[in-house]
Amino acid sequence: MPNVIASIALLVWPLVTLALFRRLRPGTALVASLLAGYLLLPPLPAEFDPPLLPSLNKSTIPSLSVLFVALALRRLRPGDLVPRHPLMQVALAAFVLSPLMTVLRNDDPLAFGPLILPALRLIEIPGLLIQQWLLAVPFLMARAFLRDEAEHRMLLWALVAGGLAYTLPILIEVRLSPQLNTWIYGYFQHSFSQMVRGDGFRPIVFLYHGLWVAFFVAMTVLAALGLAREARGRRAVGLWIAGAGLMGVLVLAKSLAPLLYVLLLAPAILLAPRRVQLLGAAAMAALSLGYPLLKGADLVPQERLLEWAGDISADRAQSLGFRFDNEDVLLERVMERPAFGWGIWGRNLLYDRESGREITVTDGRWLVVIGVFGWVGFLAEFGLLAFPVLRLWIGAGRSPPGAATVTLAVILGMNLVDLLPNATLTPLTFLAAGAILGRVEAALGETGARRAPPPLRTVL
């Protein structure tokens, strides 16, 4: 169980956020609070669980802190949180409010032999709505504070700094086994057997799984390479060294998918024209939105993908085949309640009719969302994340984005693709999407399509 240090860390984080907003510019404070909270705070099961409200934990406390501190210090007005694009307004409303319809349409208990899954009750609506809102806070605040190339470059530098700071804890766990969370917070946050890979260990540090660590390092590698391509002199040398070192850390993290992403995307970051990079980012965003449709229409080349996985190892092919089988079964279940899904408490899964044992697994974030909140919830969440990249690509001819913005779009595209096989959705994903949307809205204002407000720093 979590110790007192874990509770103290969660309790003091609002004070840390307050100090950051008092000392730094709003955009820098936002990035520092969310990034440091993600990397350092204790993961579940460390939490405070107030009645009828969402859990206060590693994911929700930093979002709640940055929102209240920014409003209290008048760094932000409530109106600044509303996206200007009508499609984004609809997606945000659907994202926050769709749980209301999910609860209303799931008022029946489900029975699987001895297992009874409860009906959803009206008292659960406030907690679900607040939880969705807190998920969206990094997106909305990044849109308000991180609107230009300089702020996007700052975000990339923060990722690199975070990756370098995490290098020592990662190397400690690679050498000594994943123990830091146990030593500091008093518990191990996952299954230890999953952190064993070959004759070594996968680091987990203070995140949810070793895959999360590897994926974060992959983001930092691409950020370092994107900055290095534009840098000159000693700064460029330092960034090349940092990128190479982080690449070595990524190899030591022993997760294949993040390593493959970097091997595919790093050459594009280093060599391809910015328009080509942006096209690739838009393609990845479109794939994340269209995958469920392709899957439902049997247009995903599963057999070929299984053959490629088999060329790597039989275990990889078996794992991928298991994922595909689960996706097929669970998509059929989604079609029984397609609009708003099955709701929480595991109602979106399937169980053995005699024993009540769970017989399906949801690995991808898209499969979780579409099962719990239906097509409305899926299109709302993935629309919020994917639309900024697609709109950035569409408007690139009239208002070409800078190098940092394009690198950020590639990193976000990588994350969106990874949400198909995995559930690596973090505040950093929403942060990147919101920053790109802020750039899109600022560009529309500059070209006269919409009138942009004066920069927040000017107003303050």
d(C-alpha 365, C-alpha 69), whole Å: 30
Q: Where are the beta strands (DSSP E) in 96-240?
A: 110-112, 115-117, 196-197, 200-201
Q: DSSP of 408-431, one letter per residue?
A: HHHHHHHHHHHTTTS----HHHHH
| Residue 452 pLDDT greater than 50, yes or no | no
- pLDDT tier for residue 457 given thresholds of 50, 70 and 90: very low
Q: Tell me, rounded to whole angstroms, the distance of Cα 197 from its chain centroid.
A: 24
- pLDDT tier for residue 446 given thresholds of 50, 70 and 90: low
Write the pLDDT tens digit of every residue in 100-136: 999 999 999 999 989 999 999 999 999 999 999 999 9
Write the pLDDT tens digit of every residue in 298-316: 888 888 888 887 877 777 7
pLDDT of residue 455: 46
pTM across the whole model? 0.93
Reading the block at residue 452, the tokens are: 């942009």
Query: By C-alpha distance, which of 340, 336, 333 is closest to 101?
Result: 340
